[in-house]
Structure 1
Amino acid sequence: MSNYQKAIFNETTNTFNVTEFTITDWSNVQVLKGSIKKALEKTSNDIDIVVSFGKKLWETLNPAIKPAQLKDFATLQGKNGYSMPATQADLYFRIIGNDTALVLDQTIHIQEAVAKVAEVAISENGFIYKDHRDLTGFVDGSANPKEEKKYPAALIADGEIGAGGSYVFHQKWIHNLAKFNELPQAVQEKIIGRTKPDSIELEGDDMPKDSHVSRTDAKHDGVAMKIWRRSFPYGNAKERGLFFISYACDPFRVDIQLDRMLGNTEDGVSDQIMNYSEAVTGGYSFAPSVEDLTTALQ
């Protein structure tokens, strides 16, 4: 699986931007391709980019390669009154680096490159918060598969359509930190399912069934539904939260976690975290292998 977009697994950066676009002019495929190729020209060697495509755009650019599970995200309604909205876009860029100015330069370059064919749906900047913590104060991404195990979790397997590519899910969450921070640390830990200072997973009777860890640590037919998370915190005086990003070999791995969070499984249990954080966007896309991307943009 050496053909994947290398930036998917880059863990060395500390400043980020995600910008999602909707296509406004579908009339000329070659113009679309040229605009995206221009957008992918790096303004600095010190930044990296992951590009991914919604179903309609990918099938427009490369109709010969149709990953079997690629789909648009649909709004999810939970049994217990929670919901997750769909804000499906067409074109997604994740820009990463260690210099805010350079990430911004690339973000602006991308926007200008596609301005004649696409408009910005959402653009969010993020950062590493302290020692890789969410703004709730808990370490984020502790359950990521380690070392070589991340590749089969995140990438479509060799021999399958779209091999070396990845199904990507973007979802912006807004935290109610004032409400969460009113709680004693012991209660917060029950909500998350980990200790706050050192991120040790709770065990046995100490682990509630409705903790975030319990709801997202999913198995199906005995197989752990592992995904590769690349989420980042964002925040300012007005709004604070987490921009959730995941890469998976099959979007079912994300679907089952979302259903478990919403309480849409047989046990009917929802994730406690949804009392303190609200999903406000949601979209699936496909991050093709370098080879498939090159073919698509020819």
Structure 2
Amino acid sequence: MTIYRTPSVLAYPGKSALFITLGIQNNQAAITKVLEFITGFSALVRSMHGRFHDENFNALMGIGSEAWDRLRPGKPKPKELVPFTAIKGEKHTAVATAGDLFFHIRADRQDICYEMAAMIDELLADATYSIDEVNGFRYLDGRAIIGFVDGTENP
């Protein structure tokens, strides 16, 4: 029997989210600093969760396939860890984004997401470089932004 755990960052949708993609600099000092950061990441998340326990804070970090090879040379990687390729659907395409470290940060307040991002930036400093950042937030009171809410406003 296979047991699947839902990562806690996905369990509650939250009101704000921050998605960060970083690349790792190509030198041994950067690799060492990133490995130290990875080792302490769960403690950082626990610390932030303790500070903001009523704000539904949580964060996940992912490591890209090529980054794994640089961080753990000669070590086997999880069989599911493969380079991400574009996924084409009928209407939309999920493009293959380059990156080494991926962060998914959620909370009920955007400033908490920024606080976590600032700590990540401070701890990784010159070991990484920014590739992409996407901010997500709940719009107004959570209504759809397509102009139709429940039929009472637009009979």
Give TM-score, length-normalised by structure 1. Answer: 0.38
TM-score (norm 2): 0.67
For 1:70 and 1:12, the matched residues in 2 are separated by 25
Match of 1:101 among 103, 111, 114: 111
1:185-204 to 2 correspondence within 5 Å? 197=150
Report what 2:77 is aligned to.
66
* Structure 2 unaligned residues grouped into runs of 5+: none
The one-letter amino acid paired with 1:124 is V
RMSD, aligned α-carbons: 3.5
- Name segments (4+ residues, structure 1) moved above 6 Å: none
- Given the alignment of the two structures, is residue 119 of structure 1 paired with residue 129 of structure 2, yes or no? yes
Q: Select 1:30's aligned residue among 26, 29, 32.
A: 32
Change (3 A) 1:64 1:18: same
Amino acid at match of 2:48: S
CA distance in 1, matches of 2:126, 2:39: 14
CA contact (8 A) 2:21 2:132 kept: yes
The higher-RCO structure (CA 8 Å, 6+ apart) is 2
1:77–1:84 Cα contact (<8 Å) kept: yes
What CA deviation, in whole Å up to 9, does each residue of 1:155-209 have, x standing for no partner? xxxxxxxxxxxxxxxxxxxxxxxxxxxxxx8xxxxxxxxxx859xxxxxxxxxxx
| SS of 2:28 mapped into structure 1 | coil
Paired AA for residue 116 in structure 2? Q
- Identity of aligned pairs, percent? 18
- Aligned pairs (5 A) from 1:130-149: 130-131=141-142, 133=144, 135-136=145-146
Contact 1:39 1:113 in 2 (8 A): no
Q: How does 1:244-259 map to 2 (within 5 A)?
A: none
Determine the structure 2 residue equivalent to 1:16: 17
- Between Structure 1 and Structure 2, how many residues are aligned? 138
Unpaired runs of 5+ in structure 1?
Answer: 138-184, 186-195, 199-298
Which structure has more helix as a fraction of its residues? 2
Pair 1:86-2:93 in alignment: no
